[in-house]
Amino acid sequence: MIEEAGPSRRELLTMIGKAGGAIAMYQAMTALGHAAETQFTGPPALSGARKGSKVLVLGAGLAGMLAAYELRKAGYAVQILEYQARPGGRNYSIRGGDKIVEVGGATQTCEFQPGNYLNPGPWRIPHHHRTLLHYCKAFGVELEPFIQMNHNAFVHQTKAFGGKPQRYKELATDFKGHVSELLSKSLNAGALDQQVTAEDKARLIDALRDWGLLDGDLKYASNVHVSSQRGYDRAPGGGVNGEPTPSKINSLSDLLDSKVWTQMGFYFNYVMQTTMFQPKGGMDMIGKAFAKQLAGLITYNAKVTKIAQGDAGVSVMWEDVKTGKVSEAKADYCVCTIPLPVLNQIDIQVGAPMKAAIKAVPYSGQVKIGLEMRSRFWEEKYSIYGGHSFTDQAIALISYPNFDFFKDKPAVLLGAFANGAGGYQLAGMTPEQRIEAALAQGSVFHPAEYRKEFMNGVSLAWSRQPWILGCCGSWTEASRAQHYQNLVAMDGRIVLAGEHASYYGCWMEGALLSSLDAIERLHKTALAA
């Protein structure tokens, strides 16, 4: 008998991409073994650069600064040209007084209280991102835990439970309980006798009884045992009324409406598993620490206008964005980390394959919104300390701050992390409209407090940032097959680096791994010249 084949990995990823967008597809790639493990085994052992050799690095994001740091250690003279007035690229934090100017001229001035911030780009570091963790330790960046999973946070689906958010712990416990009951009954009925042995069947039923909190009749029902995981109507106490009252479980039908398995699956993704970290004081602490290692090597406010190369070396024309002065920088080689949507608009002297690759990679358009609140009401009233509450609205989620617990002072909620259709919807709004949308949609979780406690907010729509025009590269399996190797190949004296030049897209780890690979190949080429 010939068994019917299921969808191939390519077909499955394509379906997931169409349904959930680039982030969902990346998470699926992780689950299927793509883009999962970091390949870092330690810093590169580069040495012996030819005397007088110079490398020009374009961009002072993490990829560019790491390239400069390691190449200088190897003996190269290094110069970095950076468009902005700060290091870090997407690795930065928005603080009180900062201005955000979008394509089209819309301008925001952040009004956060001192010590408060929004990380509009990267905001968490997985425990297995070894490259980033290595350099954070080497450069003295103090890290603290990032609370990824919070059982007490909410899950919201507009068409489930009358639109009322439910605690994750309740839905997740009910899901595994109902599934365990159905599977155990199927096993008892002999429906799976062809798939499991009698011994495994008995052990599996015992496991389901324990894991699913089933009673003696293998039924998932409301009782104190179940409430020990999903929570009680009246929690255990002391004295006369100390006996707890069990909570009422949700029906299977209502539970399926909630789609809670998407959150359960989210937390199982390798790249989303605990332990995760964040820098104390804001994500920009990493960019600042890198820049500190490169004192005097970074030229800020430098807008690259032309990149040329020849037998004698590389020549880059750049303009000081403050004075308008045009200058030329020369070097033997160039590491270019300029984001592809911007690089595509620059006159760069590389071959047709690399130019086609640069044009072939669109960037995603995520939107983040920070909402400063007068008090930490989510802690005081809802007992939520860190983690995320998810919704099917455009904002996608709200995330609770992971520091300053129990403090009596204003704090910043991440009021939106929108991508896909939600990201485009919010990006098309004015900054004021985005804040209003975040307040309206986030109020579903905290209706009595959200507007009352709101002080001010700021948003960053990545597709509207003139220095990048998007958040991160969105490869497809087809575009990778056609263009990836041409993008990362060394073209004469020029090599590209950044998260777009990796299989770890949208993560700082990908940018760093790409940078290390690029400079190792550059060094090998330089020594062989």
Domain ranges of the chain: 54-87+285-362+490-528, 94-152+274-282+364-464, 165-258
Instruction: State how far the Cα of 357 lies from the Cα of 305, in Å rounded to an integer.
Output: 19
* Residue 56 backbone zone (phi > 0: left; psi -120 to 50: alpha; other: beta): beta
The first and second tokens of residue 456, run together, are: 């001010």
d(CA 213, CA 221): 9
| End-to-end Cα spacing for the chain | 60
Contact of 320 with 42, CB cutoff 8 Å: no
Q: Which residues contact 143 (CB under 8 A, 6 or more apart)?
A: 125, 133, 136, 277, 278, 279, 280
CB distance 472 to 506 below 8 Å: yes
Q: What is the pLDDT of residue 7?
A: 46
Query: What share of residues in the chain are helix, strand, coil (percent, to 5)?
Result: 35, 20, 45
Q: What is the pLDDT along the chain (529 residues), one digit of tens a residue?
A: 333 334 444 444 444 444 444 334 434 444 333 444 567 888 899 999 999 999 999 999 999 999 999 999 999 999 999 999 999 999 999 999 999 999 999 999 999 999 999 999 999 999 999 999 999 999 999 999 999 999 999 999 999 999 999 999 999 999 999 999 999 999 999 999 999 999 999 999 999 999 999 999 999 999 999 999 999 999 999 999 999 999 999 999 999 999 999 999 999 999 999 999 999 999 999 999 999 999 999 999 999 999 999 999 999 999 999 999 999 999 999 999 999 999 999 999 999 999 999 999 999 999 999 999 999 999 999 999 999 999 999 999 999 999 999 999 999 999 999 999 999 999 999 999 999 999 999 999 999 999 999 999 999 999 999 999 999 999 999 999 999 999 999 999 999 999 999 999 999 999 999 999 999 999 999 999 8
Give the strand pairing for 125-126 and 276-279: antiparallel
- Report which of 433, 386, 375, 436 is spatially closest to residue 414, judged by C-alpha positions: 386
Q: 398-407: long-range contacts at Cβ-Cβ below 8 A with a sequence spacing of 24 or more?
A: 398/442, 398/445, 399/123, 400/147, 400/150, 400/153, 401/376, 402/144, 402/145, 402/146, 402/147, 402/278, 403/144, 403/278, 403/280, 404/115, 404/376, 405/376, 405/379, 406/376, 406/379, 407/376
- Here the tokens at position 125 are 């570091």
Closest listed residue to residue 98, CA positions, set 406, 396, 412: 412
Rounded (5°) CA angle 121-519-124: 20
Instruction: Tell me how far apart the alpha carbons of residues 450 and 439 are, in angstroms, rounded to a whole number.
Output: 7
Distance set, CA 108 to CA 100, 111, 407, 435, 519 (Å): 5, 9, 27, 12, 38
Packing angle, helices 168-188 and 261-268, rounded to 10:
100
Q: What is the pLDDT of residue 40?
A: 85
| 434, amino acid identity | R
Assign a CATH topology to domain 94-152+274-282+364-464. Answer: Polyamine Oxidase; Chain A, domain 2 (3.90.660)
pLDDT value at position 1? 32
- Residues in the chain, overall count: 529
The CA distance from 44 to 260, in Å, is 43
CATH class assigned to 54-87+285-362+490-528: alpha beta
Which residues are registered as beta bridge partners of 461?
Answer: 367
The one-letter amino acid code at 196 reads V
Q: What confidence score (pLDDT) does residue 37 get?
A: 52
- The answer to whether 13 touches 477, Cβ cutoff 8 Å, is yes
Structure tokens at 454: 């709101």
Amino acid at 524: K
Does the domain spanning 165-258 belong to CATH 1.20.1440.240?
Answer: yes
Q: Give residue 488's pLDDT.
A: 98
User: What's the confidence (pLDDT) of residue 333?
Assistant: 98
Token reading at 374 = 């007068």
Query: What integer pLDDT is reported at residue 197 of this predicted model?
Result: 95
pLDDT at residue number 178? 98
| Of 264, 280, 282, the residue nearest 272 (C-alpha) | 264
Give the pLDDT of residue 42.
86
* 150 close to 388: Cβ distance less than 8 angstroms: yes
**C-beta atoms surrounding 27 within 10 Å:** 20
**pLDDT value for 39:** 76
